[in-house]
Structure 1
Amino acid sequence: MLQYNVSLEGKTILITGVAGFIGANLAKRMLNDFKSIRVIGIDCITDYYDVSLKHERLHELKIFGERFVFVYDTIANKVAVERIFSEYHPYIVINLAAQAGVRYSITNPDAYIESNLIGFYNILEACRHSYDDGLDGVEHLVYASSSSVYGANSKIPYSTEDKVDNPVSLYAATKKSNELMAHAYSKLYNIPSTGLRFFTVYGPAGRPDMAYFGFTDKLVRGEKIKIFNYGNCKRDFTYIDDIVEGVIRVIQNVPMKNVGEDGLPVPPYKIYNIGNSCPENLLDFVQVLYEELLAAGVLPADYDFDAHKEFVPMQLGDVPTTYADTIPLERDFGFKPSTSLRDGLRRFAHWYKEFYK
């Protein structure tokens, strides 16, 4: 197992997309666990989904006082990014800001180019120039990739050693581009970077566009839920707390800087999957969700679940199976996500009942 080679205590940490599902949970956990850190968070709070959720997440971070600084802007604004780096000098940068969603990338591609490509480029450039004038600069850049980069890969489980050259959505293509851009900057400017391929993240106060949340909204309204590929799909669902734990562990081990035989830097660059490594059948997933919504009182005891299911073909941009190979994560960090789907959906159902009812 790798030994931690960077201390977070006393550090200034930049988290982009801090009002997002993963960003807010990560910021809260870090501020709780490391009493002397300061988190600078940036988010433009788009209306891609209900902004009240984003404001609620930010509200929960206010309890940390001056240790949490919020910047209301987009990473696509290069001036704003440069201002953050010049004013706060972050030592750790965690890039979670991105336009998410496979299906939305088909109808609104501009948002993905602006946030996922231009925005990430601005972050890379700021990291590069953080070393100017002999400054210590950024110690570790950690950024969110996605299981979507595996595209139509038929080999399972998905390994970071697999080729990922066949994306089936623009979203996936932008995430693969992020990995390539980070590699180039690591090579050219010796910036230590680690990419994390997240697998279907879920949990309380999550994203309403995700299946578990969207299905719940529809069932509460008495609408039918669409079960794609007639239920013949499997997803590797990963509970939010497991994602956050994995990110925190990865942050604290910086890829080592080395020089190759050609006298040039070997890119200090790594990629990991973070997933439950336990794909769940879509039909089993919706059944567990239904049972937990009943138990939490979100749905009435006499709810006719079968009448609210509609089986439809595969959605454009989707894939039949996602399945994470997490052996490198286990080997290097002694960690494997382990929250069961039932436990995770139970916590979501109780949160949903409290938040909306």
Structure 2
Amino acid sequence: MKEYKVFAINPGSTSTKIALFQGDVEVFSKNITHEAAELKQFREILDQLAYRKKSILEALQEANQSLTGTDAFVGRGGGLVSVVGGTYPVNDRILADQRNKVSVQHPAILGAQLAHEFVEEYGGQAFIVNPPDVDEFIDEARITGLKGLYRESKLHALNQKEVGIRYAKSLGKRYEEIDLIICHIGDGISVTAHRKGKMIDSNDIAQGDGPMAPTRCGALPVKDVVRMCFSGKFTEEEIYQKITKNGGLVDHLGTSDAREVGKRIAAGDGYAKLVYDAMIYQIAKQAGAMAAVLEGKVDGIVLTGGISYDPYVDAELKRKLQFIAPVTIMAGEFEMEALAAGALRVLTGEEEPKTYTGIPCWNGFHLG
């Protein structure tokens, strides 16, 4: 069987991660950092396209790596309407929807644009894999206590899906054959119910839901939040910052670094321990809720993300959750591997590619 050459591109706020794969073996990778001062010159995210491409080509040249003969260029994706999970060839609709800002703008949208640019120059095919826009919630998961306010899927789709696929393989099964709870524990925390290959429910990592995280507030008492909003002490933007960037460990302890929190706990900081234990408690509580979503039929619970390297977090979550199902640690993130693997599954015929149509897979309820 041919060993396909795949180039993965994962643009972030101040960096661009790149990796070159020969088959499923990573042969080169680099995290290209971008100075904030350099990025400030660009008014829109898409204005960074030529700059990021130049940075990538320079990094490859320095490492004596060539993109000649690459079979697939695969980017992170994003900035699209809601889609089901899978691998999508980059088409004109994807490029247009990102340019027309049909959804939230994040540097990840540059992944598809860069993949397209490289295909134009080097040939091959361009893909995105499980972009942030993946939404596979069941209808019951969307309803809230206020008509017209609905829950949508905002989670770590790329890593969640890859971890699910890898865990299933460890059991000698396919991802579509098992039911899982996957806890991605990083700067944001998503605890997700996976039923037969679909992420049917999870907490929202973007809008204030579920466990607090290093930088995010998690679920809050709504009436108290309303009082904050109308107190005159905070602007609208400051409230958003508290929810998504300055909440959680940052608000309580002044740091988002779990390692720093661990050092404080070891030095006898009782409040740091209380807050850290509360975060762990909330993760376990959310996982228990996802067990109910799966009606107790859980083949495994997987802990992933950067904080799952912490033995204390792992031990506490195992203690709290092992009565539900076996708990497995798959620490870190597998985003670059996930991008390459998604492209390879299509190239080898293991998986059928999805087609992006620009029509949301969910666009509200239209009931009487």
Smaller-chain TM-score range? 0.3 to 0.5
In terms of fraction of residues, the more helix-rich structure is 1
TM-score, with length taken from structure 2: 0.32
